[in-house]
A and B are shown apart, each in its own frame.
Chain A
């Protein structure tokens, strides 16, 4: 079969090759098949399995032939060449067969591939279609959901409720018969109604706006009118000032004062308010004024950066002025001290007028960092006062207000917190600065409403009106009494220095008509001198001779007898009596330690002082005491028992009428004067 096929094949091959080259594409397959030997068609007809067998057989034949050729070649011989040639031709035929088989295999492969490819293409096409459809499905689904979710804007509007709608809407909009049944129509109707309402409201709104504009314009006009009024009122007030003065109603002045008062620090403000109130209500002789610079007071409230700038500026200036020298530690400390003791620029001035036209001027200051108030006092009299030498301290600003209340000496700061502040800048006590700053008396703090309780130190002490009010009246009265008693003393001292004890006529009854002992000297002595005297020990030990008192020495004489009297004048005179200590020089030195009668004389002036007070306000106490002292000396000298051993008459004949010269185990002399009988008796 192979040789047949190969024979057949050869021409076929030439033909089949030549036919497509010449043929056109138009020719159908059937024509080709009919004319040519198409191997493609042959492939369909042949059985691949048989082809495979053929291939195996052919390979075997080839191997056999080769082996025979090999044999023949190796044996050699002449015949061999023809055998070999024969066999070579057979192998060539086999080679041909193999080639054909190979072609067929290729063709089959190609066909198989083409078929697979076609099928794959179809499948791909379907797959693509499927995907397209799926995609479209998905898309459509999305669209559907979108459509389903769609909310119409009309649902966002809060429509009025159905009942209301049917109530309010006019029938041509609500169209009840149509809308009841059809929700779509109903909603439409409702929307219509909504639109209607909104239109109306918009109208109203426009109207209101225009109204508002109008009214605003009116307000403007009126404002202008009022502002034009203000300067006219001012001018009226100015014009009324003379009328105010004429009628003694200085409203304007008071108003100005209240304006300034707004800048006062709280304690000074409390004082100002309370003092003004008291002056208006109870005491017409009190006048209150504010002094100082309001601008400076305002400047205190500037923000701290400004003040710091000022400080640094001033520091810079200071540096410049001292040129090369830096401010020493002492100067810096000094500045710190000054800063700590700084006063508020405003001060309150109180003027208390007394009956005899003398005036006590009090200026109250506020020390800002220490939170205490101080006062400076000055007394002016209607007529010029000639100050007697001993009266130097009576009215001096430093001491005139000392101990207004017992123990209130005004030399120490009443605020316990200040001590820590002082320690920082090296101030020992405020005493060194009181001359400059004024005295921080306790009553001053109370008038300013400041209370510093000793038991519980408070963090911040706030000015309290009620405290000030409760102390105002008493303090004012005490101040007046103080000034008047000091002035009275002033006058009395002038007389005492001349040796005359000024006893007023309404006190004459306390003394007998004739008083022989005379006051020859009256001087002021220092506290230390008083302490050094030998006959004042008792008073010193009893704690009655403090450094706030004033001390004097009086000398009473009669004949050879000299009586020294050391006087302690308490600032609280005349409610607190002056205390006398006596020393008699006559036939030896007699004091209260060696002569009971001297003691009795002291008792007569010290303990029985109430009889000597005289009519209120008892300014006569001191002079009456001195006069009594003279009387007592008279009695003492005249009743001295005569020493029989000594010859000669008594130096002092007895002129006083006495019932008995001695009485009691201590053999007291009769020192008590009885009025109007005029005799002396014992207590």
Chain B
């Protein structure tokens, strides 16, 4: 098979190491700046890189425009999730959440504005934070991850107000139901739980893997991704990607995809989903057929 082989550049120790790092890098999270010009990406080495979207997407974009403007070591462990408020970038990964000022972040040597660690029960291993969710009405942040709890943190005071327990295994993803302020969380234990933020209790539990239409035991029962549209919910992971009607807790459509889905989002009337180990973003209508796929 003819393949264009790149010429072997004389590589010293440093270059080889950097090349290997890049080969084994995973980007777990990204977030767009409030002004829309920059993109922050967090990787498994704990680094955050800021890209200039305006430069990279412009017509005169060169190779250098696609490189980060600035890269800094944000966390000791991987950066699993990031969200942006209108002034801050919040990143979390190895058990801590840190905040950075978007205005300052482009300067070298940027320091975090603050860092908080939710009160964990176990001390042997610091649990990771897999998902961050902003609740704009309450001006609070919800963290969820390795310790199987959802923690809410007030963004103004920085105190942890609530800890919602219920999951039996670590939590993968969060979604916010706007109308009635409820939070959905999906976890490794295969259940999607709905929580009422005002009462801080679990309202509803959907054990996805128990439903035959969507369960795929060979993949496991974990829920990797969640998206909600107040009435409807899409979730997938080990089980197949399914559209649920929340009030009745019944699966309505099962999307036919083989790979476990990692990301899903509602967009107008469509469902966009990405698997993470394929190069495609599939677009589905609510009726369950795949309209088309966006591909890298």
Interface residues of A (CB under 8 A from B): 406-408, 531-532, 537-548, 570, 572, 575-577, 579, 593-594, 596, 599, 602-603, 606-607, 641, 643-646, 659-660, 662-667, 681-683
Q: Determine if B38 is an interface residue (Cβ-Cβ < 8 Å).
A: no
Closest A residue to B15 using CB positions: A406
A–B complex contacts, Cβ < 8 Å, 23 sampled: A406-B15, A537-B3, A540-B5, A541-B6, A542-B23, A543-B6, A543-B7, A548-B8, A577-B17, A599-B24, A599-B26, A646-B218, A660-B125, A662-B188, A663-B128, A663-B146, A663-B170, A664-B80, A664-B128, A664-B130, A665-B28, A665-B81, A665-B224
B80 touches which of A540, A543, A599, A665 (Cβ 8 Å)? A665
A residues in contact with B262, CB < 8 Å: 665
A residues in contact with B78, CB < 8 Å: 664, 683
In the assembly, what is the distance between CA of A576 and CA of B19, in Å?
12
- A543-B22 contact given A662-B188, A665-B28, CB 8 Å threshold: no
B125–A579 CB distance below 8 A: no
In the assembly, what is the distance between CA of A546 and CA of B7, in Å?
8
B residues in contact with A603, CB < 8 Å: 24
Taking A664-B78, A682-B128, A683-B78 as known contacts, 11 extra A-B pairs with beta carbons closer than 8 A to each other, sorted by chain A number, are: A406-B10, A406-B13, A531-B3, A542-B6, A548-B8, A570-B16, A607-B20, A659-B124, A663-B170, A664-B130, A667-B222
B217–A645 CB distance below 8 A: yes
As a 0/1 sequence over residues 1 to 41 of chain B, the CB contacts with chain A under 8 angstroms (1 = contact) are 10101111111110111011111101010000000000000
Q: Determine if B220 is an interface residue (Cβ-Cβ < 8 Å).
A: yes
A residues in contact with B19, CB < 8 Å: 542-544
B residues in contact with A659, CB < 8 Å: 124-125
Q: Which of A406, A532, A545, A594 has the most CB of B within 10 A?
A: A406
Within B91-123, the residues touching A (CB, 8 Å) are: none
A602–B24 CB distance below 8 A: yes
In the assembly, what is the distance between CA of A469 and CA of B1, in Å?
48
Closest B residue to A543 using CB positions: B6
In the assembly, what is the distance between CA of A545 and CA of B16, in Å?
11
A residues in contact with B12, CB < 8 Å: 406, 576
In the assembly, what is the distance between CA of A548 and CA of B7, in Å?
12
Query: How many A-B residue pairs lie within 8 Å, measured between CB atoms?
Result: 103
Distance (whole angstroms) from the CB of A598 to the closest CB of chain B: 11
In the assembly, what is the distance between CA of A575 and CA of B11, in Å?
12
B residues in contact with A570, CB < 8 Å: 11, 16
B277–A594 CB distance below 8 A: yes
A575 touches which of B7, B13, B22, B277 (Cβ 8 Å)? B13
In the assembly, what is the distance between CA of A453 and CA of B19, in Å?
28
In the assembly, what is the distance between CA of A333 and CA of B216, in Å?
74
B13 touches which of A532, A537, A572, A641 (Cβ 8 Å)? A572
A residues in contact with B217, CB < 8 Å: 643-645
Interface residues of B (CB under 8 A from A): 1, 3, 5-13, 15-17, 19-24, 26, 28, 77-78, 80-81, 124-125, 128, 130, 146, 170, 172-173, 188, 217-218, 220, 222, 224, 262, 277
- A576-B13 contact given A542-B19, A543-B6, CB 8 Å threshold: yes
- A579-B20 contact given A572-B13, A643-B217, A660-B146, CB 8 Å threshold: yes
Distance (whole angstroms) from the CB of B131 to the closest CB of chain A: 8
B residues in contact with A537, CB < 8 Å: 3
Distance (whole angstroms) from the CB of B143 to the closest CB of chain A: 14
Closest A residue to B24 using CB positions: A603
Distance (whole angstroms) from the CB of B216 to the closest CB of chain A: 9
A607–B24 CB distance below 8 A: yes
Closest A residue to B218 using CB positions: A643
In the assembly, what is the distance between CA of A458 and CA of B19, in Å?
36
Distance (whole angstroms) from the CB of A294 to the closest CB of chain B: 39
A547 touches which of B3, B8, B23, B28 (Cβ 8 Å)? B8
B residues in contact with A543, CB < 8 Å: 6-9, 11, 19
B residues in contact with A576, CB < 8 Å: 11-13, 16
- A577-B16 contact given A407-B11, A548-B8, A665-B224, CB 8 Å threshold: yes
A residues in contact with B173, CB < 8 Å: 665
In the assembly, what is the distance between CA of A643 and CA of B24, in Å?
28
A606–B188 CB distance below 8 A: no
A residues in contact with B16, CB < 8 Å: 544, 570, 576-577, 579
A residues in contact with B22, CB < 8 Å: 542
Distance (whole angstroms) from the CB of B79 to the closest CB of chain A: 11
A residues in contact with B130, CB < 8 Å: 664-665
A606–B24 CB distance below 8 A: yes
A546–B128 CB distance below 8 A: no
Distance (whole angstroms) from the CB of B224 to the closest CB of chain A: 7
Distance (whole angstroms) from the CB of A414 to the closest CB of chain B: 13
Closest A residue to B22 using CB positions: A542
In the assembly, what is the distance between CA of A210 and CA of B19, in Å?
92
A residues in contact with B10, CB < 8 Å: 406-408
Distance (whole angstroms) from the CB of B44 to the closest CB of chain A: 8
B172–A665 CB distance below 8 A: yes
- The 6 A-B pairs of least Cβ separation, nearest first, read A407-B10, A546-B8, A603-B24, A645-B217, A406-B10, A543-B6
Distance (whole angstroms) from the CB of B74 to the closest CB of chain A: 16
In the assembly, what is the distance between CA of A548 and CA of B262, in Å?
40
Distance (whole angstroms) from the CB of B287 to the closest CB of chain A: 29
B277–A593 CB distance below 8 A: yes
Distance (whole angstroms) from the CB of A440 to the closest CB of chain B: 16
In the assembly, what is the distance between CA of A54 and CA of B10, in Å?
154
Closest B residue to A542 using CB positions: B19
B28 touches which of A579, A641, A662, A666 (Cβ 8 Å)? A666
Distance (whole angstroms) from the CB of B132 to the closest CB of chain A: 12
In the assembly, what is the distance between CA of A544 and CA of B10, in Å?
9
In the assembly, what is the distance between CA of A534 and CA of B9, in Å?
23
In the assembly, what is the distance between CA of A538 and CA of B23, in Å?
7
Closest A residue to B125 using CB positions: A659
B170–A662 CB distance below 8 A: yes
B residues in contact with A594, CB < 8 Å: 277
In the assembly, what is the distance between CA of A681 and CA of B124, in Å?
10
B residues in contact with A538, CB < 8 Å: 23
In the assembly, what is the distance between CA of A531 and CA of B5, in Å?
9
In the assembly, what is the distance between CA of A439 and CA of B77, in Å?
47
A666 touches which of B1, B26, B81 (Cβ 8 Å)? B26
In the assembly, what is the distance between CA of A144 and CA of B62, in Å?
112
Distance (whole angstroms) from the CB of B123 to the closest CB of chain A: 12
Closest A residue to B29 using CB positions: A665
In the assembly, what is the distance between CA of A667 and CA of B9, in Å?
36
Distance (whole angstroms) from the CB of B20 to the closest CB of chain A: 5
Q: Which of A407, A545, A572, A641 has the most CB of B within 10 A?
A: A641
In the assembly, what is the distance between CA of A576 and CA of B217, in Å?
43
Closest A residue to B260 using CB positions: A667
A residues in contact with B170, CB < 8 Å: 660, 662-663
Distance (whole angstroms) from the CB of A665 to the closest CB of chain B: 6
Distance (whole angstroms) from the CB of A241 to the closest CB of chain B: 49
A residues in contact with B172, CB < 8 Å: 665
In the assembly, what is the distance between CA of A543 and CA of B217, in Å?
40
B residues in contact with A572, CB < 8 Å: 13
B125 touches which of A532, A593, A681 (Cβ 8 Å)? A681
Closest A residue to B277 using CB positions: A594
In the assembly, what is the distance between CA of A641 and CA of B12, in Å?
41
In the assembly, what is the distance between CA of A537 and CA of B6, in Å?
12
In the assembly, what is the distance between CA of A454 and CA of B117, in Å?
56
In the assembly, what is the distance between CA of A540 and CA of B4, in Å?
10
Q: Which of A570, A596, A663 has the most CB of B within 10 A?
A: A663
A406–B24 CB distance below 8 A: no
